[in-house]
Every structure is written in structure tokens, then in C-alpha cells.
Amino acid sequence: MLMSMTGFGRATLESATHKITVEIKSLNSKQLDLNVRLPFLLRESEGDLRSLVGHTLERGKADVNVVVETLPSATVATVSEFNVPAMAAYKAQIEQAAATLGVPVPADLFRVLLSLPDAVHTPAAVAAEDDSAVLLDAVRAAADALMAHRRAEGIELEEFFRVRVEAIGELLDSIEPFEAERVARVRARLQESLEKIPAIEFDKGRLEQELIFYIEKLDVNEEKQRLRRHLAYFIETMEAPKPGQGKKLGFIAQEMGREINTLGSKSNHADMQAIVVRMKDYLEQIKEQVLNVM
């Protein structure tokens, strides 16, 4: 079962005083990279939030955005108020300074007072007792929605990989008809080259031995067998019931690449090399998408 590292989840829940909306989006990354935007009101819950999201997502670059809105029934608690004692103290100081300096008191004194620090007081919003619990419930719901999104993309990735692995297997089978032809062609070319040099005598038995040795160096049966095993192992790993196979699939794809490259270097045949190029194309597509597997 594959899980993509790309996903999005959103959830909105309400406490007695606030509506809390949580959005989580994730992209591929080698490790868990978590970025949290949390209002000051709920800063004390950040540790629990990170632990919950990290445990659920495991890998990926994730952005968590939390928006808190005060419900209409609770807006009275945040109405701004004049800090009259502070304004009175400021007024006395301004009048005393004006008298000492011999300058008139500003005509727009009230406007000046309003611009001074602490002249207007806005009570800090206080989180209700159940806000933290509601936040974590919303985070859990958003994370579950994201994981469902990841699984949906994982199903698409499974089909993507299966098609390309099967295509590589079919191309591997198509190499076989060219192998016997390739050996015969190499043997004929070498013998023809020797016959063009009539003044040189050679031991035909020794020549046969050297031909066998040379042809054995071009033999690709071992590479074909190993590549088939890698293809089967890729599918087996992909179908494992527990997610988290991304790194392992990446390693298998690297081994597949080694065998395909060796096939290409040993082929010494235009048609076989063309087939190897097509294999490499499918393999590159696999490698690109493996990076997005959790």
C-alpha cells in the first residue's frame, strides 16, 4: 500500500467562544519538516499539535495553518476601552510641561492623548478551557483528511509504477530474439576479418576458444535474471500492507538502473540498445515519482 507525500486536509470546529480552522498541506521531503502558524491565543498547545501532526504524517514538508475566529456571542470580551487613568496622568504631565516651557497646551489635546501608549486598552483574548481540546480535535481531523488524500494519490502511484514495471519486463523479453543473432554476427565478423589476412596462419581451435571467451563477456543472462528479480521485488515491496516504502523503492530502482546500464554496455547490437533506451525512459519516470512516495 503506497502513500503519497503530497496532500491537503482541512477541518473546522467550534468551542464555546471560538471557531477554529486548521489547514494542513504537505509536499515531498526526505524527513519531516513541520512549519506551524498558530495564533498567540493557542501558543501553549503548539507542542501537542506538533507531536500529533508529526506522528500522523511521519515524512514530508508540512505547513500547518490555524485560524481562530471569535464567535459573535463572545465578541464583547474584546471591545477596546479608554484607559482613563492613564489619559488623566498624561494630561497633567502635558499641562505641567506646557507651563514650565511657556508654550500653549495643544488645541487638539484629546487627539494627542489618544495617540499615546496605553491610552486605549484592548483586553487580551482569553482561550476558553475547551479551546485547546477543540484545536487538537481539528488538527486530528485535518491530518486524517490529508492522509486520505495521500492514500488516494498512492493508489494512482501504484498503477503508475505497475504499468512501467510491466513495460520494462516486456522490453526485457523482447531482447531475447536478438541475442542469438548478435552472437552469430560477432562470430562471423571476427572470422571474416581474419580471412582478409591470408598471410597469417592461426589455430582454429584456439580461435574458437577465444571466440567463446569473448562471447561470454557479452553474455547478458545474469543481468536479465537480476533485473527480473528487481522488477518482482519492486512490485512486492509496493504491495506491502504497511506504508513507508518510499526509500526502499528508491534503492530498488537504483539497482534496476545498474542492470539496465550493463545491458546497454554489453548489447553491442543496435536493436538491443534501442530497447535499453526505452527501458531507461520508463525507469526515469519511476525514479521521479518514487521521490513522492512516503
Judgement on whether residues 48 and 107 belong to the same structural domain of the protein = no
pLDDT, residue 49, reads 95
**pLDDT of 219 above 70:** yes
Instruction: Write the pLDDT tens digit of every residue in 130-151.
Output: 888 999 999 999 999 999 999 9
**pLDDT of 259 above 90:** yes
Domains held by the chain: number? 3
- Mean pLDDT over each residue of the chain, to the nearest integer: 86
157-161, 166-170, 264-268: least confidently modelled range:
264-268
Judgement on whether residues 173 and 252 belong to the same structural domain of the protein = yes
Residue type (1 letter), 8: F
CA–CA distance, 268 with 265 (Å, rounded to integer): 7
Judgement on whether residues 251 and 276 belong to the same structural domain of the protein = yes
pLDDT, residue 40, reads 82
CA 32 remoteness from chain centre: 9
| Domain ranges, residue 98 | 80-121
Instruction: Write the pLDDT tens digit of every residue in 172-193.
Output: 999 888 876 776 676 677 667 6
Residues linked to residue 67 through DSSP beta bridges, in sequence order = 21
| Predicted confidence band of residue 111 (pLDDT cuts 50, 70, 90) | confident
CA–CA distance, 121 with 84 (Å, rounded to integer): 10
CA–CA distance, 18 with 74 (Å, rounded to integer): 8
pTM here?
0.70
- 1 falls within a domain: no
C-alpha cell at 123: 483586553
Judgement on whether residues 45 and 140 belong to the same structural domain of the protein = yes
Judgement on whether residues 273 and 174 belong to the same structural domain of the protein = yes
| Predicted confidence band of residue 76 (pLDDT cuts 50, 70, 90) | very low
More confident position, 82 or 228 = 228
- The mean pLDDT of 55-79, rounded to a whole number, is 81
Judgement on whether residues 69 and 99 belong to the same structural domain of the protein = no
- The mean pLDDT of 259-273, rounded to a whole number, is 86
Judgement on whether residues 161 and 174 belong to the same structural domain of the protein = yes
Residues linked to residue 27 through DSSP beta bridges, in sequence order = 61
- Residue 15: give its domain's CATH number: 3.30.230
32-37 and 60-70 beta bridge pairing = parallel
| Predicted confidence band of residue 225 (pLDDT cuts 50, 70, 90) | very high
CA–CA distance, 152 with 69 (Å, rounded to integer): 31
The beta-carbon contacts of 263-266 under 8 Å, at least 24 apart in sequence, are 263/175, 263/220, 263/223, 263/224, 263/227, 266/217, 266/218, 266/219, 266/220, 266/223
**pLDDT of 127 above 60:** no
pLDDT, residue 154, reads 94
Judgement on whether residues 230 and 140 belong to the same structural domain of the protein = no
